[in-house]
């Protein structure tokens, strides 16, 4: 039962354009969301996060938007660069939970071409 879903396994974008990666979740108890970036044969690295009390968080070229009513979040990368080519994982957590675990989506492979 996938509580965090990334329905697009891949996305291809031209350099300089906007990349939009989408993520949906089913558990209304999630109150914190994260995006991780992963290169092949490496561990994921934390990219950006957002609390459920906000609807937008920005960090340089990366912006995450949260729509709680739709249980949907998206990661915008502007402008996209070839070095952004990687797998992007969406993750969610209920911070008050004693379990303290992240739930990950299956990832979206982003390819930025020149």
Partner 1 sequence: DGGITQSPKYLFRKEGQNVTLSCEQNLNHDAMYWYRQDPGQGLRLIYYSQIVNDFQKGDIAEGYSVSREKKESFPLTVTSAQKNPTAFYLCASSIGVRTTETQYFGPGTRLLVL
Chain residues in the site for partner 1 (CB under 8 A): 6, 9, 32, 34, 36, 41-46, 49, 89, 93, 95-96, 98-102, 104-107
Distance CA(9)–CA(4), nearest Å, equals 13
- Closer to partner 1 by Cβ: residue 40 or 60: 40
What is the spatial distance between Cα 67 and Cα 73, in angstroms, rounded to a whole number?
6
How many angstroms separate the CA atoms of 23 and 59, rounded?
18
Q: CB 94 → partner 1: shortest distance, Å?
A: 10
Burial class (CB in 10 A: 0-12, 13-18, 19+), 95: exposed
Q: In the bound complex, what is the minimum distance in angstroms from residue 14's beta carbon to partner 1?
A: 25
Nearer Cβ to partner 1, position 42 or 69?
42
CB of 71 vs partner 1, minimal distance in Å: 18
Q: How far is the CB of 78 from partner 1 (least distance, A)?
A: 23
Residue position matching structure tokens 């995450």: 64
């Amino acid at each position: 039962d996938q509580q965090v879903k990334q329905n697009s396994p891949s996305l291809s974008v031209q350099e300089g354009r906007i990349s939009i990666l989408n993520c949906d979740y089913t558990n209304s108890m999630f109150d914190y969301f994260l995006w991780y970036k992963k290169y092949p044969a490496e561990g994921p690295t934390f990219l950006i996060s957002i609390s459920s009390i906000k609807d937008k968080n920005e960090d340089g070229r990366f912006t995450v938007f949260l729509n709680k009513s739709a249980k949907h979040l998206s990661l915008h990368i502007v402008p996209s660069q070839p070095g952004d080519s990687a797998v992007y994982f969406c993750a969610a957590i209920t911070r008050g939970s004693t379990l303290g675990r992240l739930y990950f989506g299956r990832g979206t492979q982003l390819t930025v071409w020149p």
